[in-house]
Amino acid sequence: MTCLLLLLLLLLFLFSSADSLTSPSDVSALKAFKATVKPNSIPPWSCLASWDFTVSDPCASPRRTHFTCGITCSSDSTRVTQLTLDPAGYTGRLTPLISGLTELLTLDLAENNFYGLIPSSISSLTSLKTLILRSNSFSGSLPDSVTRLNSLESIDISHNSLTGPLPKTMNSLSNLRQLDLSYNKLTGAIPKLPKNLIDLALKANTLSGPISKDSFTESTQLEIVELAENSFTGTLGAWFFLLESIQQVDLANNTLTGIEVLPPNLAGENNLVAVELGFNQIRGNAPASFAAYPRLSSLSMRYNVLHGVIPSEYERSKTLRRLYLDGNFLTGKPPARFVRTDAEVMGSLGNNCLQGCPGKAKVCAPSQKPFYICKQAYGGKPKS
């Protein structure tokens, strides 16, 4: 009888403790988070609508009717490790009390209508690996405190309204692999970047000034660089295309006036595959050295101010398959390989000053510039 009573008491204890598993600090943080979301922006079918703290514990299972989605808990059901909302159109501010979720690994509020500042208290989320606030209406600067989150591997705060410069201590994020702050209103220069960064996306901001080698010195694993639609100026140095791991570069729609290109060191491995430099103000000749990059398959320098002939090295390249040089002042004859009817190359050489670019060749469209414009550009008749 005594053993049976003890067993019943044990079962009662287990079931009662299962009703309140989640850390009180986590419960308080979740309550504060929901409280700052406007009730009329919470659809009845959404994750937040199922968060009812009066009848259920957030980490209790099974979650048949309450806390059905939006959070993930640790294996012992005591700590919230992920806060990943559905894109239901939630509207509200991100409460500073989010800092109470100290075991959070992922914070994902993408594609909602959160607005206001990103709270500096986010620096308390010291275990955070993934921060996704994409496609909201966050404003103000990216808090310097974010750079104290040493566990961060991925940041995506693209498509918001962030302003001001990037934190000068971005390089302290030693584990960061992906950074996407595209489509904001960020200003200033690129600070020194993290050493393990692989994917950098800062397109469609108002970043300005020259692109400095110092910013990229430590980033030896960088593969993708997207800096299009900013206000970068000056000459892009030869060091940029010689970065060890770089594969894809997009610098279109800036105000660059020059580029320097040296052949790669063939003793090492160069992985440059695609270069986009269109819609700048780059002057001079088309760099012949691009043809020396052993994996380069796509090159665009369209709508710049290039003069001279198309380098014969482009024709001899065995890897180049996409070439866009339209909208410049290039003269001479187009490379024969590019204008053949069976040409394997895609692109455009149109709107230049080329002679003998056959209309039947797709790459010759649109038609070449009028003679008087080309004459004016060269201070006389352009030389072939």
User: With contact defined as beta carbons under 8 Å apart, do 87 and 111 qualify?
Assistant: yes
User: Could you identify the residue written with the tokens 């269109």?
Assistant: 278
Nearest of 343, 339, 363, 337 to residue 351 by alpha carbon: 363
User: How much is the pLDDT for 278?
Assistant: 98
Domain boundaries, the chain: 71-378
Give per-residue burial for 238-265: e unless 16+ CB within 10 Å, then b: eebbbbeebbbbbbbbbebbebebebbe
Which regions of 181-313 does DSSP assign to beta strands (E)? 185-188, 199-201, 206-209, 224-226, 231-236, 248-250, 255-259, 274-276, 283-285, 298-300, 305-307
Task: For 72-90, write each residue's pLDDT tens digit.
Answer: 999 999 999 999 999 999 9
Number of Cβ within a 10 Å radius of residue 285: 12
User: How much is the pLDDT for 382?
Assistant: 54
> In whole angstroms, what is the distance from residue 142 CA to residue 119 CA?
9
User: How much is the pLDDT for 268?
Assistant: 64
User: How much is the pLDDT for 10?
Assistant: 42
Which residue type sits at 193? Answer: L
Ranges of residues in the chain whose predicted pLDDT is under 50: 1, 3-18
Nearest of 33, 112, 38 to residue 80 by alpha carbon: 33
The pTM for the full model equals 0.92
Concatenated DSSP letters for 17-51?
HHTS-S-HHHHHHHHHHHHTB-GGGS-TTSTGGG-
Fold type of domain 71-378: 3.80.10
Number of Cβ within a 10 Å radius of residue 287: 23
Number of Cβ within a 10 Å radius of residue 60: 16
Kind and range of the H or E run holding 144: none
Nearest of 291, 298, 310, 297 to residue 350 by alpha carbon: 310
Which residue type sits at 57? Answer: D
Task: For 155-198, write each residue's pLDDT tens digit.
Answer: 999 999 999 999 999 999 999 999 999 999 999 999 999 999 99
User: How much is the pLDDT for 5?
Assistant: 44
